[in-house]
Amino acid sequence: MKLSRREIAMAALLAGAALAGGEGEAAPVSVTERIEHGPRPSADPSYFTKVTGGEYIAMVLYPGMTALDLIGPHYFFSTMRGAKVHLVAPTMAPVACGQGVTLSPTATYADVPKAVDILFVPGAGFPTLDAMKNDQLIDFLADRGERARYVTAVCTGPLLLGAAGLLKGYRATANWGIRDKVLPAVGAIPVDARYVVDRNRITGGGVTAGIDFGLHLAALLRGPDNARVCQLLAEYDPAPPFDSGSPHKAWPESVSLVQSMIASFSDDLVKAGKARTNRA
Amino acid sequence: MKLSRREIAMAALLAGAALAGGEGEAAPVSVTERIEHGPRPSADPSYFTKVTGGEYIAMVLYPGMTALDLIGPHYFFSTMRGAKVHLVAPTMAPVACGQGVTLSPTATYADVPKAVDILFVPGAGFPTLDAMKNDQLIDFLADRGERARYVTAVCTGPLLLGAAGLLKGYRATANWGIRDKVLPAVGAIPVDARYVVDRNRITGGGVTAGIDFGLHLAALLRGPDNARVCQLLAEYDPAPPFDSGSPHKAWPESVSLVQSMIASFSDDLVKAGKARTNRA
C-alpha cells in the first residue's frame, strides 16, 4: 500500500491524537485541510457485519440545544458497528431542543459509565447561557470529562466544557461568533479552525462543523478506511449554493449583522464563564 | 448593486423555479455548482426581527428514517422567521428514527393544511422498503403533494414521493446507491446531481445533500441574501477530512462494498415501486 504525503500526514495526526490520551504537552493540531484522493487500500469487506469496539459514546442533551450540532456527528458515530451511542439527560423525559425539535434520551446521567470513550456536548443559540448556569449539567460534564477518552464539543458546546473546567490550558475552537471573546473566559486558548485536536480534547466550530468533526472522530476510533466508507454512505460531498459559511468568506454586512445580534449575549457568556472559573 | 455572471445565473434559476409552480414544461435544472463570492448588497438589518412569510412547512416523520436527512434542512427552514415548520406523523406519538434517535411530532396528518408551502420527506436505509408499502404515509404524501407549492425529498425520500405518484415524468435525484435503478421504477428520470429542481419538485442526494438542498430552498423562499446569513449562522463552510463523499471520488472498493450491501435491497425497492405504479 503506497501512501501520498497527505495520507501519511493524516495517519500521523490520527496516531498522534490517539496516543496523546490527555497527558503531556503534545502540540495542538488544528485540522481543516482536505485529504487528497489517495491510493487504494482495499476497504474491509467485513465492515458492515463485524461488531468491534463496543465504545460508549455519551452525547449530552439539554434544553434549547441545536439539534443539528448533535445529529451530524451522531450519524457517523452510529455507523460504527458495536458502538453504544447514547443521548443522555438527567431523566428519560424528552428534551425540547430549539426550533420545535424534541429528542428522547436513551440513557440517564446515572446510566452513563464513569469512563466513557467519547463525551460530546452540542451547542445552542441563546440557551447556551442557561446551560452554563445549569449545575446538574456542568457537574455531569466535569465528572465524566475527567475520565473520558475523548472530551468533545461543537458550536457553543466548548463553552460548557470550559464551564466544567475541562478546557483550562487547552487550545480549542467554537462557533466563530463567540470563540475569541468567550473561550479565554473559561481558560481555553482560541484557535480559528474547523475543528481542533489538543491532546484528548476535540472541539468544532459552529453547527455544521460537527459533521467534519464527527467524520474525523470516526476515523480516530475505527480508522480512516472505514471513515471513507461512512463518508460515501452519508454522500458527504458538500456543494453549498453560496460561499458564505465563515466570517472570512461572508459579506462584511452579514458578519456585522450576526455580531450585532450577539454582542450583549457574548458579554453575558463571558460573565457566566468567569463566574464558573472563579468558583472552581 | 452589481452582480457577477454567476449571481445572475443563480437569480434566474431562483426566479424560474419560483415561477414554474408545477405547470408547463420548464427545463429541469440541476444545481451543483457553488456561487462565487460576489458583490455586496447590504444584508437586511431587520432579518432577525421581521416576521414574514408564514409559510407552512410539513416535514414527514416515519419509523426508521434517517434523522440527519431531516435535521439538516430543518435548520435552514427554522431560520426563516415566521415560517411554521412542523414535524408531522399520523399521531403525536414519538417516532423512532434509525440508530436510537427518537423525534416527537409537532403536528398530526390531520393538522396539516391541505395546501402547504413545502412538503418534505427524508430518506432511510433499509426501512425505506416498509415506508414504500405504508399506505397511510403514501396516501398522505399523494394528497398533500398534489397541492403543495414545493414537493421535496432527499436520500431515499424521492422514492416515497415516487410511490405516491408525484414524480411521474419529473427529473429527480436520490441517494446515489439506488438512484439510477429505482427512480425509473416510479416513473422519474434520474439525474446525477447534488440536488435537482424540476418545476416544483426539488430532490436531493444522500443524507448530507439535505443541507445544500435546505439552503437552496431557504434562498428560494426568502431570497439569497438571507440565505447567505443563514449559511454564516450555520458556519456551513465544509471541510471534510477525506474526499470520499460520492461514487465519483471514493475508492472503487468502497463503492463496490456499498453496492454489494444494497444489491438485493434495491431489487426489492424496484418491485415495491412497480407495484405502486401498477396500482395507481
- Confirm whether B92 is domain-assigned: yes
Determine the Cα–Cα distance for residues A189 and A195; give it in Å rounded to an integer. Answer: 13
Q: What is the pLDDT of residues B64-84, one digit of tens each?
A: 999 999 999 999 999 988 899
- Confirm whether A243 is domain-assigned: no
Residue B277 Cα, gap to closest chain A Cα (Å): 28
CB contact under 8 A, A101 and B253: no
Q: Specify which residues A87 forms β-bridges with.
A: A59
pLDDT at B49: 53
- Which residues in chain B touch residue A103, judged by CB atoms under 8 angstroms apart? 101-104
- Which residues in chain B touch residue A72, judged by CB atoms under 8 angstroms apart? 68, 71
Q: Which CATH number does the domain housing residue A170 bear?
A: 3.40.50.880
Identify whether A155 is a catalytic site residue: yes
Cell digits for A169? Answer: 490550558
> By C-alpha distance, which of B223, B157, B152, B214 is closest to B186?
B157
- Which residues in chain A touch residue B99, judged by CB atoms under 8 angstroms apart? 74-75, 78, 85
Q: Specify which residues A59 forms β-bridges with.
A: A87, A120
- Confirm whether A217 is domain-assigned: yes
CB contact under 8 A, B228 and A240: no
Please report where in the chains the cell 471573546 appears, as a residue: A181
- Confirm whether B46 is domain-assigned: no
pLDDT at A278: 80
Confidence band for A277, pLDDT divided at 50, 70 and 90: confident
Confidence band for B46, pLDDT divided at 50, 70 and 90: low
Out of B103, B175, B244, the one facing A103 most closely (by C-beta) is B103
Cell digits for B5? Answer: 455572471
Q: Which domain holds residue A190?
A: 54-232+262-279
pLDDT at B30: 46
Answer whether residue A44 shows pLDDT above 60.
no
pLDDT at A50: 57
Confidence band for A1, pLDDT divided at 50, 70 and 90: very low
Confidence band for B53, pLDDT divided at 50, 70 and 90: confident
- Which residues in chain B touch residue A155, judged by CB atoms under 8 angstroms apart? 235
Answer whether residue B233 shows pLDDT above 70.
yes
Which residues 6+ apart lie within 8 Å of B227 measured at CB?
A241, A242, B76, B215, B216, B218, B219
**What does the pLDDT average to over B22-46?**
42
Out of B232, B239, B254, the one facing A254 most closely (by C-beta) is B232
Out of B35, B103, B244, the one facing A232 most closely (by C-beta) is B244
- Between positions 239 and 268 of A, the ones with CB within 8 A of B are 239-247, 249-258, 261
Candidates B59, B68, B249, partner chain A, best to mutate (most A CBs within 10 A): B68
Residue B157 Cα, gap to closest chain A Cα (Å): 14
- Confirm whether A102 is domain-assigned: yes
pLDDT at A45: 52
Out of A68, A240, A241, the one facing B71 most closely (by C-beta) is A68
pLDDT at A19: 33
C-alpha pair distances (Å), A137 with each of A44, A65, A102, A157: 39, 13, 18, 12
Answer whether residue A13 shows pLDDT above 70.
no
CB contact under 8 A, B246 and A233: no
pLDDT at B168: 97
Please report where in the chains the cell 426508521 appears, as a residue: B64
Angle at A125 between CA A147 and CA A77, to 5 degrees: 45
Answer whether residue B19 shows pLDDT above 60.
no
> Please, are residues A62 and A89 in contact by the beta-carbon 8 Å criterion?
yes
- Which residues in chain B touch residue A229, judged by CB atoms under 8 angstroms apart? 244, 250, 254, 257-258
Determine the Cα–Cα distance for residues B12 and B6; give it in Å rounded to an integer. Answer: 10
Confidence band for A11, pLDDT divided at 50, 70 and 90: very low
Candidates A2, A33, A80, A242, partner chain B, best to mutate (most B CBs within 10 A): A242
**What does the pLDDT average to over A47-69?**
85
Answer whether residue A43 shows pLDDT above 70.
no
Candidates B29, B92, B242, partner chain A, best to mutate (most A CBs within 10 A): B242
Confidence band for A47, pLDDT divided at 50, 70 and 90: low
pLDDT at A53: 73
Look up the ipTM and state it: 0.85
Which residues 6+ apart lie within 8 Å of A170 measured at CB?
A28, A188, A189, A198, A199, A201
- Confirm whether A250 is domain-assigned: no
> By C-alpha distance, which of B157, B98, B236 is closest to A75?
B98
Chain A residue with the nearest C-alpha to that of B247:
A232
Answer whether residue B93 shows pLDDT above 60.
yes
Query: Considering its fold, how many domains does chain A have in total?
Result: 1
Determine the Cα–Cα distance for residues B19 and B92; give it in Å rounded to an integer. Answer: 35
- Confirm whether B14 is domain-assigned: no
pLDDT at B157: 98
The answer to which of A40-49, A141-150, A179-188, B241-250 has the lowest mean pLDDT is A40-49
- Between positions 7 and 66 of A, the ones with CB within 8 A of B are 10, 31-37, 40-43, 45, 47-48, 66
**In percent, how much of chain A has pLDDT > 70?**
81
| Greater model confidence, B76 or B32 | B76
Task: Describe the strand order of the beta sheet including A102-103 as a list of residue ranges.
Answer: A95-96, A102-103, B102-103, B95-96
**In percent, how much of chain A has pLDDT > 90?**
71
Q: Specify which residues A189 forms β-bridges with.
A: A171
Q: Is A153 helix (H, G, I), strand (E, B) or coil?
A: strand
Out of A32, A227, A241, the one facing B219 most closely (by C-beta) is A241
Determine the Cα–Cα distance for residues B30 and B13; give it in Å rounded to an integer. Answer: 10
Confidence band for A24, pLDDT divided at 50, 70 and 90: very low
Give catalytic residues of B, as residue numbers.
155
Confidence band for B44, pLDDT divided at 50, 70 and 90: low
- Confirm whether B239 is domain-assigned: no
Answer whether residue A77 shows pLDDT above 60.
yes
pLDDT at A59: 98
> By C-alpha distance, which of A86, A124, A109, A116 is closest to B101?
A86
Q: What is the pLDDT of residues A101-140, one digit of tens each?
A: 999 999 999 999 999 999 999 999 999 999 999 999 999 9
> By C-alpha distance, which of B159, B149, B147 is closest to B62?
B159
Q: Is B31 helix (H, G, I), strand (E, B) or coil?
A: strand
Candidates A237, A261, A265, partner chain B, best to mutate (most B CBs within 10 A): A237
**In percent, how much of chain B has pLDDT > 90?**
71
pLDDT at B28: 39
Residue B101 Cα, gap to closest chain A Cα (Å): 7
- Which residues in chain B touch residue A104, judged by CB atoms under 8 angstroms apart? 94, 102-104
- Which residues in chain B touch residue A247, judged by CB atoms under 8 angstroms apart? 232
- Between positions 108 and 147 of B, the ones with CB within 8 A of A are none
pLDDT at B222: 85
Q: What is the pLDDT of residues A152-176, one digit of tens each?
A: 999 999 999 999 999 999 999 999 9
Instruction: Single out the catalytic residue among A97, A103, A148, A155.
Output: A155
Q: Specify which residues A204 forms β-bridges with.
A: A154, A195
